[in-house]
């Protein structure tokens, strides 16, 4: 099969076709504006964002300048932060102004909150005075809070309105959000008291009171609440949208499910990156220097833990010198312990993130992991005992590695569960630091158990 045929076979069904990418790059190369617009018009903003992230900075700049006034603000909201900053510097003030004017306030806040001050001003200056004031009010809330996440465009109605009054109001309103799911009922002091879905509004007679068709499930989100807690609430209670209130309980905005799920996705991605020690801001578009700088600190930490494990080996250097077979088998004990610890660690960190692992069930989970480690340790101890005996012809060596395997897998399972729980209770992100501690524990315990037993039983 040709390389092209293989690429087409393995390509995701939602990825941009390679022919389309090639055609767009060709249109940019020859400077054909009409052809570029024709190729880009059917694409979703998320697909255009993917394209801009995949090409290099030089080609990206040429494409943006040629595309010109057709650039859509939604493309900016879909871009990775590092690429977004580059794109904003390339866009002319006129194109940038046109691009951001049609965005909802939450999308504009998401654009500007991580930008440098000059770029923030470039976007804020492009907004009308009223829209700028709304965005600046949202930026006044703490970072990663519901106030930053919410959109200020809200559809609400007095609690005493009927369906007919709500429909007439929405039909006559000059500015409604492009997408909304609920009409929020408020009392005279602007406190939200209920949600009414659009489906029930459109499916009820005009004389039906809105409060009579409101949803049973109703939750409000404090504006100062952490966005991670907001995403959890949406996922836990299957919310579609929820009103946001200030310190006095007054309606100030609304959060919709798309924004909440974006936070949830970002948190999962952040946990994966932290577990690997590559930096939570890592992206394929990062330069060599940026990538190296992000990975260097945790590689340095791992170097320190590796030296610690080596010091343990150095304690038993005479034991190893007396029986070279120990040096051959040591990596097996360490590797099995490391892998077992990573398995328990991954489950624990994920359960803490989803709040499934709580004070109520933590000891049951720890006992389960310890028993799993014991069972796996017994199974692999039998395997490695036989392998070591036939490999080196020393029965005692098989016993030593078997016992060391059991000890290390039990300790690995415990460490992989207990360490993230302890770090979480101490207020430290378990995804950030657990991996290094677990690896250190399994290496040190594995070498101590294996080499210590060998020194006592074989020499």
DSSP 25-65: HHHHHHT-HHHHHHHHTTS-HHHHHHHHHHS-HHHHHHHHH
Which pLDDT belongs to residue 352? 85
> According to DSSP H, which parts of 157-256 are helical?
163-172, 198-202, 227-237
- The Cα 34–Cα 67 span in angstroms is 9
Residue 89 domain-assigned (yes or no): yes
CATH code: domain of residue 236: 3.10.580.10
Which pLDDT belongs to residue 412? 93
Q: Which of 16-30, 45-59, 256-270 has the lowest mean pLDDT?
A: 256-270
Query: Are both 311 and 405 inside the same structural domain?
Result: yes
- The Cα 243–Cα 250 span in angstroms is 10
Please provide the DSSP assignment of 232-297 as one string: HHHHHHT-SEEEEE-TTS-EEEEEEHHHHHHHHHHHHHHHHHHHHTS-TT--TT--HHHHHHHHHH
Percent of the chain with pLDDT over 90: 42
CATH code: domain of residue 424: 1.10.357.20
- The Cα 357–Cα 102 span in angstroms is 42
Query: Are both 433 and 302 inside the same structural domain?
Result: yes
Query: Are both 228 and 346 inside the same structural domain?
Result: no
Token couple for 222: 């404090």
Average pLDDT over residues 148-168: 94
Residue 419 domain-assigned (yes or no): yes
Name the domain boundary from 248, 276, 304.
276
Residue 283 domain-assigned (yes or no): no
Q: Taking the alpha carbons of 268, 272, 277, 279 in that order, is the dihedral positive or negative?
A: negative
Query: Are both 227 and 313 inside the same structural domain?
Result: no
- The Cα 62–Cα 286 span in angstroms is 19
Residue 95 domain-assigned (yes or no): yes
Query: Are both 240 and 300 inside the same structural domain?
Result: no
Query: Are both 337 and 412 inside the same structural domain?
Result: yes
Polymer length of the chain: 459
Token couple for 375: 């069972």
Burial of 61 (0-12, 13-18, 19+ CB in 10 A): middle
- What DSSP designation does 102 have? T
Burial of 157 (0-12, 13-18, 19+ CB in 10 A): buried
pLDDT (tens digit per residue) in 289-335? 776 777 777 677 778 878 888 888 888 888 888 888 888 898 898 88
Query: Are both 359 and 419 inside the same structural domain?
Result: yes
Tokens 């897998």 correspond to what residue?
409
Q: Which of 151, 175, 135 is nearest to 241 (CA)?
A: 151
The total of structural domains in the chain comes to: 3
Which pLDDT belongs to residue 284? 58
Residue 150 domain-assigned (yes or no): no
Query: Are both 107 and 245 inside the same structural domain?
Result: no
**Averaged confidence pLDDT in the chain:** 86
Residue 18 domain-assigned (yes or no): yes
Rg (CA), the chain: 29
Residue 145 domain-assigned (yes or no): no
- The Cα 434–Cα 414 span in angstroms is 12
Name the domain boundary from 214, 245, 276.
276
Q: Which of 288, 227, 293 is nearest to 262 (CA)?
A: 227
Residue 146 domain-assigned (yes or no): no
Q: Which of 42-56, 96-110, 127-141 has the lowest mean pLDDT?
A: 96-110
CATH code: domain of residue 106: 1.25.60.10
Name the domain boundary from 229, 256, 276.
276
pLDDT (tens digit per residue) in 253-287? 999 998 898 888 877 777 676 666 665 555 555 66
Q: Is 242 helix (H, G, I), strand (E, B) or coil?
A: strand
Strands 221-222 and 192-197: unpaired
Q: Which domain holds residue 169?
A: 156-276
Query: Are both 37 and 133 inside the same structural domain?
Result: yes
**pTM value?**
0.69
Query: Are both 127 and 182 inside the same structural domain?
Result: no
Q: Which of 149, 132, 133 is nearest to 141 (CA)?
A: 149
Query: Are both 197 and 304 inside the same structural domain?
Result: no
The count of other CB atoms within 10 Å of the CB of residue 358 is 10
pLDDT (tens digit per residue) in 347-396? 898 888 778 888 889 999 999 999 999 999 999 999 999 999 899 888 88
- The Cα 108–Cα 138 span in angstroms is 10
- The Cα 432–Cα 430 span in angstroms is 5
- What DSSP designation does 282 have? -
Query: Are both 172 and 237 inside the same structural domain?
Result: yes
């Amino acid at each position: 099969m040709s390389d092209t045929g293989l690429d087409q076979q393995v390509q995701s069904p939602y990825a941009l076709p390679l022919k389309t990418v090639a055609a767009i790059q060709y249109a940019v190369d020859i400077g054909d504006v009409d052809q570029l617009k024709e190729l880009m018009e059917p694409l979703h903003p998320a697909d255009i964002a993917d394209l801009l992230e995949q090409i290099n900075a030089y080609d990206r700049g040429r494409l943006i300048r040629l595309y010109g006034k057709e650039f859509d603000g939604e493309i900016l909201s879909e871009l990775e932060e590092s690429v977004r900053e580059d794109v904003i510097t390339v866009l002319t003030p006129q194109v940038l102004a046109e691009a951001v004017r049609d965005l909802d306030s939450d999308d504009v806040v998401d654009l500007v909150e991580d930008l440098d001050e000059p770029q923030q001003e470039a976007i804020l200056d492009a907004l009308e005075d009223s829209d700028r004031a709304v965005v600046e009010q949202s930026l006044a809330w703490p970072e990663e809070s519901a106030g930053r996440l919410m959109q200020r465009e809200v559809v609400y109605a007095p609690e005493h309105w009927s369906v007919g009054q709500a429909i007439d109001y929405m039909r006559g309103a000059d500015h409604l959000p492009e997408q909304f799911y609920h009409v929020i009922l408020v009392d005279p002091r602007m406190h939200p008291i209920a949600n009414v879905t659009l489906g029930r509004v459109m499916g009820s007679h005009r004389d039906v009171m809105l409060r009579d068709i409101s949803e049973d499930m109703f939750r409000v989100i404090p504006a100062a609440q952490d966005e991670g807690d907001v995403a959890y609430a949406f996922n836990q209670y299957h919310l579609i949208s929820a009103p946001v209130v200030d310190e006095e309980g007054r309606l100030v905005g609304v959060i919709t499910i798309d924004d909440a799920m974006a936070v949830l996705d970002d948190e999962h991605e952040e946990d994966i990156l932290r577990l690997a020690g590559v930096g939570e801001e890592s992206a394929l578009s990062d330069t060599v220097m940026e990538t190296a700088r992000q990975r260097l600190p945790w590689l340095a930490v791992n170097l320190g833990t590796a030296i610690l494990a080596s010091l343990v080996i150095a304690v038993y250097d005479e034991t190893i010198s007396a029986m070279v077979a120990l040096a051959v088998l040591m990596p097996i004990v360490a590797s099995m312990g490391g892998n077992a610890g990573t398995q328990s660690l991954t489950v624990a960190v994920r359960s803490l993130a989803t709040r499934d692992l709580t004070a109520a069930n933590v000891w049951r989970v720890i006992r389960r992991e310890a028993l799993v480690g014991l069972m796996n340790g017994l199974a692999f101890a039998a395997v490695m005992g036989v392998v070591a005996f036939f490999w080196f012809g020393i029965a005692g060596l098989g016993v030593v590695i078997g016992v060391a395997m059991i000890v290390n897998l039990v300790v690995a399972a415990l460490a992989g569960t207990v360490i993230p729980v302890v770090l979480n209770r101490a207020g430290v992100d378990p995804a950030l630091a657990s991996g290094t501690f677990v690896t250190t524990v399994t290496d040190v315990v594995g070498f101590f158990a294996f080499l210590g037993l060998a020194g006592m039983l074989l020499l």
